[in-house]
Amino acid sequence: MKILRRLFTAAVFVLLVGWLCLPPPPPLDGVSYSRRVFDREGRLLRLTLTDDDKYRLATPLAKIAPELVDATLAREDRHFRWHPGVNPVASLRAAAHLCVGHRGRGGASTITMQLARVRYGLYTRTASGKFVQMCRALQIERHYTKDQILAAYLNLAPYGRNIEGAGAASALYFGKDAARLTRHEAVTLSALPQSPTRRALPLVAAHGFRAPHFVLRTLAGNAGPGDLGTTLDLDLQRLVERRIEGHLVAQRRRGVTNAAAMLIDTRTMDVLAQAGSADFFNESISGQVDGTRSRRSPGSTLKPFIYALAIDQGVIHPLTMLSDTPRSFGGYNPENFDGEFAGPIKATDALARSRNIPAVALAAQLARPTLYEFLKRSGVALPRDESFYGLSLPLGGAEVTMEELLRLYAALANGGRLRAIHRTPHAPEPGTRVLSPEASFLTLEMLGHVPRPGLNDEAGNEGVYWKTGTSMGFRDAWSIGVFDHYVLAVWVGNFDGHRNPAFIGRTCAGPLLFSIIDAMRSAGRVRTVHLAPPPGANLRPVEFCAVTGQLPTAACAHHCTGWFIPGVSPIAACTVHRDILIDAASGLRVSTDDGNRTLRRETYEFWPSDLLSLFEKAGIPRRRPPPFLPGAGANLETLSRAGQPPQIVSPQPHQVFALRTGDDSTVTLRAHAEADVTRLYWFADKTFLGTTVARDVFHWRPAPGSYRLLALDDHGRSGACSVTIQTTDEQTSLTVSAR
């Protein structure tokens, strides 16, 4: 039996020694850590939770204030540097207290034992548990230095609530790194691990979840351990959040309860501020939904890119005269927001006043790329094909995100180059050209004519080039502005899509945009910077006829200066202002000087009939030419060589009509004629269809076949287009090709 006992004792001793010699896992192996997210100045935005829902930061011993190390050793384990992991004196003293019934006096746990308990999840309130804890402590001491053990303890020690480690405790209780703790703060923290639940401190502001939508988006795109620096400017973030809060307080009586905003530096494409909702923690407004990423109808905010494309494609220049008049586009009948029509209007004014009809008419003329192709090329997610959206796209017929809009407007500020938005430091990038520098500059300049909310003219914009948008049904109000080196977007609405008549871009979102800009200017963050042509741009200042936007002739009395892109911009001599011969006695017009009467030359305006009619409806007088003097010889041959021929506008080129077989459907024939034209005569091939007053339409009931339509005015000038009408079992279709 003695031999067996000795063998057993030897085996236990060998196993114990062998176990102690086995290398344990590193003290912090497998421990997950929080991540710190900082703004661009190193200010803490958020400390994330670990996998086990703790706040815990990996903090080397060298980055922990010596005051905290000393205070911890003094309170927890004065002889830490000298014992082998278990303090025999303290252990014997604790055992003696236990024997006489003084449980809990004179604790024997060393820092190494506490590390073993935390690291291995030991239950140490029993004798067996305490024995295992001591063995683990001896094992840890056997393989690691005192500094490694101390560092591990200070990274895992409980500091109240769900806070572990000195790094997290310093950040959440005092808003600073553990290396910058004062002696008083260090002593305060050192007392917490002894009774973390009872002694937990109040949390400081650093614990707050700042810029939550921004932080969540940044973390989602930057997985992995370690601190995360970002582009956010906390001062600007707070400014934006305060202005949103103040705006909603002022608008609450109108049912306005939510808004989102995002600010970008156009030079770097850094996100400087991002508020995805008015209050991230407000469930009643679905505050955790990120309005900067939600797909919403953009209203009219895409209109500037129609004008930019039209400038690039040589369709218009900023002073081109457009027509804001009721029109039908293949069955699509857009209306203006106010239900009115402005009549003849310059392109700049049409964009500044956000007129729908001119924008849709321009969009219909775009090609290579169309607006749809441009948006797809620019990274806007349009899930349906182009035919689905049709010509409703310019008026908000597709959903986009605030980020997509910001990239597009930033491209205008960056000379037509589209670049990615960034939330973390990055290298400069050239971007992709989607518009010319010239078109980008001219479009921004046109947006500078949009008057500030509350003003009737462009005064007060102070270098802000901006646009508003209102979605159909009053569900989204937008405002986007380019100023200094920023682009700012603002959205007001509800995430549940609830409509509100107050959701109008100009009156609801526009004031918030300028409130933020004004606050930035007051804080010295915004300079008043006025646009200048980009260096080396193919732009020339040109004198235009101030009335027509064409090159002035000797007959044009009023001139203005505008920009012109040589070789691209459509430019022609003014055909509206013309000198004609007037009989001095009667004041009537004559075609030639026959030497029989006293004549004088006077300038009159020869507007197309459609524009002239619009001027009259708008109450804007125009100087129309007088009729010819009877018997004075209105020479048709002479007149046919002067002026402009009628332009057939209905049917339009490439338009397809659907006419059901057997019904009384008609094709509407309409043409624009000069101001001195009284009647138009319509022909299909050589067949006379009928006559109308120049401003009226003619209704034609065609049979299947191919025709050449001709509109002849009473001066002998004509315009034509080719028409093919095909009949099927269910419908008749009309295909038009322009001559």
Task: Summarize pLDDT for 18-48 with one digit per residue, the tens.
Answer: 666 667 767 888 889 999 999 999 999 999 9
Strand partners, 582: 589, 600
d(CA 412, CA 672): 35
**For residue 195, what pLDDT is reported?**
86
How many CA atoms within 13 Å lie on the side-chain side of 435? 35
Contact residues for 88 (Cβ-Cβ < 8 A; gap 6+): none
Looking at domain 260-522, its CATH architecture is 3-Layer(aba) Sandwich (3.40)
Q: Are 448 and 275 in contact, with CB atoms under 8 Å apart? A: no
**For residue 733, what pLDDT is reported?**
45
**Encoded tokens for 6:** 């000795």
d(CA 440, CA 21): 73
d(CA 66, CA 302): 59
**Encoded tokens for 158:** 């409980």
**For residue 93, what pLDDT is reported?**
63
Q: Cα–chain-centroid distance for residue 9? A: 77
How many CA atoms within 13 Å lie on the side-chain side of 562? 27
**For residue 541, what pLDDT is reported?**
92
Give the relative orientation of helices 66-76 and 111-120 as an angle to the nearest 10 degrees.
90
CB atoms within 10 A of CB 568: 17
Residue type, 66: P
- Determine phi and psi for 393, rounding to 5 degrees: -60, -40
Residue type, 652: Q
For 391, left (φ over 0), alpha (ψ -120 to 50), or beta? alpha
Torsion of CA 323, 329, 333, 337, to 10 degrees: -40
d(CA 46, CA 214): 11
Helices (H), 157-195: 166-169, 183-190
d(CA 137, CA 111): 9
SS3 67: helix
d(CA 491, CA 512): 9
CATH class of 647-738: mainly beta
Domain regions of the chain by residue span: 19-207, 260-522, 541-641, 647-738
Q: Which residues of the chain have pLDDT under 70?
A: 1, 4, 8, 11-12, 14-22, 25, 89-108, 205-208, 326-342, 455-461, 614, 618, 632-643, 652-664, 727-739
**For residue 619, what pLDDT is reported?**
72
Q: Cα–chain-centroid distance for residue 471? A: 15
pLDDT digits (tens, 9 = 90+) for 122-144: 887 787 888 888 888 888 888 89
What CATH superfamily classification does 19-207 receive?
Biosynthetic peptidoglycan transglycosylase-like (1.10.3810.10)
Unique residue bearing structure tokens 């699509």: 332
Strands 679-684 and 687-693: antiparallel
Q: What is the mean pLDDT of the chain?
A: 86
| 478 closest CA partner among 493, 462, 461 | 493
